[in-house]
């Protein structure tokens, strides 16, 4: 047993995204209103708040307005209000057809929303949290759960520093600390590794549809001033994915002559030869997209899994000793393609319940009423109205599923008397390589399309080289003995950072893990058809350092 230092708080929050930071702010707001002292600690594995935050992002300010009604006067970084909102069907690599406004589901209309950098919003929220008295510890990963003798969560253990790749202690070894709390809140984002453990341990997803995911890949470009159109929002469906996969593309104009462009690929795709990264490189060559990037310079790159199962996949969010909130639970509204406002609302509901519990002389170990309060809120109503969005797309495909969702969302506001569920996990949708032909992707031109390694360079990703590998194989033989002959080892293609390779050493095939490249997207943990890869936290501050994503 490692001898560890311990710090005690009323509440420990894991993750410095919008859900966790909102929880922290709202807790301290209430403490100030009631003139009471509470201790709140937030740990973030990134080198700073915002370092690991990546989103499109078009944000509905609804929850932010509830949290800080005067956010404009306070200087919140919501600067580019949506003023043009366009949706296109891409029929081929050159064809595009614009949808009339009436043809766009009302959930995808963005009037009153803002094009933002979510990382910058989180940095701003962290400033507000600290000014309210929250202790924020960036660069500390919550590596493990701490349980009491009765099996209740009593906090987290931060990752050890200075452990070599072989497990030995280096000269600068420092054991992680136990951060103990009356309640621990998990807001790690999509596919949080501790959230995953909690769901399994307490069977929080019992009776629910399996969670579904997409991979979002994004770049940030500096464009010539004459091409900048802050507030322009472009969404696309169809090519390059077509029948191969669900998903769609986006291009948003921000302030400061910047454009964010990206592709979202549903991770239930069948063809093991499909590469989401290469599909994105093709996407940028479409004339509709390329015209926005003419004469521009790519300045940032990143990727992140997106949780999109919605209502049917939402687990129980309470357990003895804490709560799951935001994308750690799966609160994103897929019909709106937005999760920031819902994550923030889940944090506000959590904070108000936590504050009440902390006032009790004998607080309950499990705040099970959290689930009911979420469902009774506008967050719950949004998710229920959007309950069929993802399963309809999975069942009927992009075009027919889109038509159903237009009818359901625009005419009936999600009240059609049907409830679809997709009970097949995304990884299980991967078909044998023998059923498909390899896809020949064009070489990058260095102007619009690029190779993986140059992209990873722009993510500012760095890990201490001599450390335990944070990409764990349950069985080291599976990649070569099972995945290679059956699926042509798809990790080589679904990873958007070149982490996984099959290399030849003489006549032997070796599965190589380049953990230094990992941008923490979690796709491997989700899509591996053998469910043999487990993503855990590396040493604190390791991973990408996104400046404005």
Catalytic residue numbers, as ranges:
55, 304, 340, 495, 518, 521, 524
- At 102, list the tokens: 């009436």
Note every long-range contact of 451-454, with CB atoms under 8 Å and residues 24 or more positions apart, other chains counting: 452/277, 452/496, 452/497, 452/498, 452/517, 453/498, 453/517
Distance CA 387, CA 129 (A): 33
DSSP structural state of residue 274: -
| 107: its two tokens | 């959930």
Task: Count the helices and strands in the chain (H runs, E runs).
Answer: 16, 24
Cα–Cα distance measured from residue 494 to residue 497, given in angstroms and rounded to the nearest whole number? 9
522: left (phi > 0), else alpha (psi -120 to 50), else beta? left
DSSP-derived letter for residue 431 is P
DSSP string, 208-225: SPPP-EEEEEEEEEE--G
Of 348, 336, 386, the C-alpha closest to 64 is: 348
Q: Where are the alpha helices (DSSP H) in 407-483?
A: 452-458, 478
- DSSP per position, 133-189: T-EEEET--EEEEEE-TTS-EEEEEEPPEEE-TTS-EEEEEEPPPEEEEEEEEE---
Phi, psi of 173 (to 5 degrees): -60, 135
Burial 313-337 (b: 16+ CB within 10 A, else e): bbbbbbbbbbbbbbbbbbbbbbbbb
Sorted by sequence, the CB contacts under 8 Å of residue 466 that are 6+ apart come out as: 164, 165, 170
Residue partners of 116: CB distance under 8 A and separation at least 6: 57, 58, 59, 77, 78, 79, 80, 254
Which 3 state secondary structure label does DSSP give 193? helix
3-state secondary structure of 454: helix
Residue 338 tokens, joined: 């937005």
CA distance 425 to 221: 35
- Cα of first residue to Cα of last residue in the chain, in angstroms, is 40
Could you tell me which of 240, 188, 221, 236 has the C-alpha nearest to residue 337?
A: 236
């Amino acid at each position: 047993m490692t001898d560890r230092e311990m710090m005690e708080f009323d509440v420990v929050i894991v993750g410095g995204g919008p859900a966790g930071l909102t929880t922290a702010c709202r807790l301290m707001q209430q403490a100030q209103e009631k003139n009471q002292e509470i201790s709140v600690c937030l740990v973030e594995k990134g080198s700073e708040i915002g370092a690991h935050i990546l989103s499109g992002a078009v944000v509905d300010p609804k929850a932010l307005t509830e949290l800080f009604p005067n956010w404009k006067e306070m200087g919140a970084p919501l600067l580019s209000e949506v003023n043009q909102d366009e949706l296109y069907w891409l029929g081929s690599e050159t064809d595009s057809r614009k949808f009339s406004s009436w043809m766009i589901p009302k959930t995808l209309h963005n009037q009153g929303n803002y094009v933002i950098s979510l990382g910058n919003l989180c940095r701003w929220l962290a400033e507000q949290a600290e000014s309210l008295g929250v202790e924020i510890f960036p660069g500390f990963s919550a590596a493990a759960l701490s349980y009491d003798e009765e099996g209740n969560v009593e906090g987290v253990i931060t990752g050890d520093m200075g452990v070599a790749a072989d497990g030995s202690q280096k000269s600068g070894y420092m054991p992680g600390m136990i951060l103990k709390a009356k309640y621990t809140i998990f807001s790690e984002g999509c596919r949080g590794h501790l959230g995953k453990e909690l769901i399994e341990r307490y069977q929080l997803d019992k009776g629910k549809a399996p969670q579904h995911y997409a991979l979002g890949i994004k770049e940030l470009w500096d464009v010539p001033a004459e091409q900048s159109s802050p507030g322009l929002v472009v969404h696309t469906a169809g090519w390059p994915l077509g029948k191969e996969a669900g998903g769609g593309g986006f291009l948003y104009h921000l302030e400061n002559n910047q454009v964010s462009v990206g592709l979202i690929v549903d991770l239930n795709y069948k063809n093991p030869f499909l590469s989401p990264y290469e599909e994105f490189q093709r996407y940028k060559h479409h004339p509709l997209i390329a015209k926005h990037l003419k004469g521009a310079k790519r300045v940032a790159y990143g990727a992140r899994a997106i949780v999109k199962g919605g209502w049917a996949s939402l687990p129980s969010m309470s357990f003895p000793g804490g709560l799951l909130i935001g994308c750690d639970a799966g609160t994103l509204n897929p019909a709106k393609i937005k999760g920031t406002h819902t994550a923030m609302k889940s944090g506000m509901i959590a904070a108000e319940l936590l504050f009440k519990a902390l006032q009790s002389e004998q607080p309950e170990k499990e705040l099970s009423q959290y689930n009911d309060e979420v469902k009774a809120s506008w967050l719950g109503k949004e998710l229920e109205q959007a309950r069929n969005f993802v399963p309809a797309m999975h069942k009927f495909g992009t075009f027919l599923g889109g038509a159903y969702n237009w009818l359901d969302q625009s005419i009936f506001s999600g009240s059609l008397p049907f409830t679809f569920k997709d009970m097949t996990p995304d990884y299980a949708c991967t078909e044998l390589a023998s059923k498909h032909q390899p896809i020949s992707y064009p070489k990058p031109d260095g102007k619009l399309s690029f190779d993986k390694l140059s992209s990873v360079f722009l993510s500012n990703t760095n890990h201490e080289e001599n450390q335990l590998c944070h990409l764990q194989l349950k069985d080291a033989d599976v990649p070569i003995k099972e995945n290679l002959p059956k699926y042509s080892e798809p990790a080589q293609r679904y990873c958007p950072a070149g982490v996984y390779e099959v290399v030849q050493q003489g006549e032997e095939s070796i599965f190589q893990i380049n953990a230094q490249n990992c941008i923490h997207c979690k796709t491997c943990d989700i899509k591996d058809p053998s469910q043999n890869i487990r993503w855990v936290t590396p040493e604190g501050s390791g991973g990408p350092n996104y400046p404005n994503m």
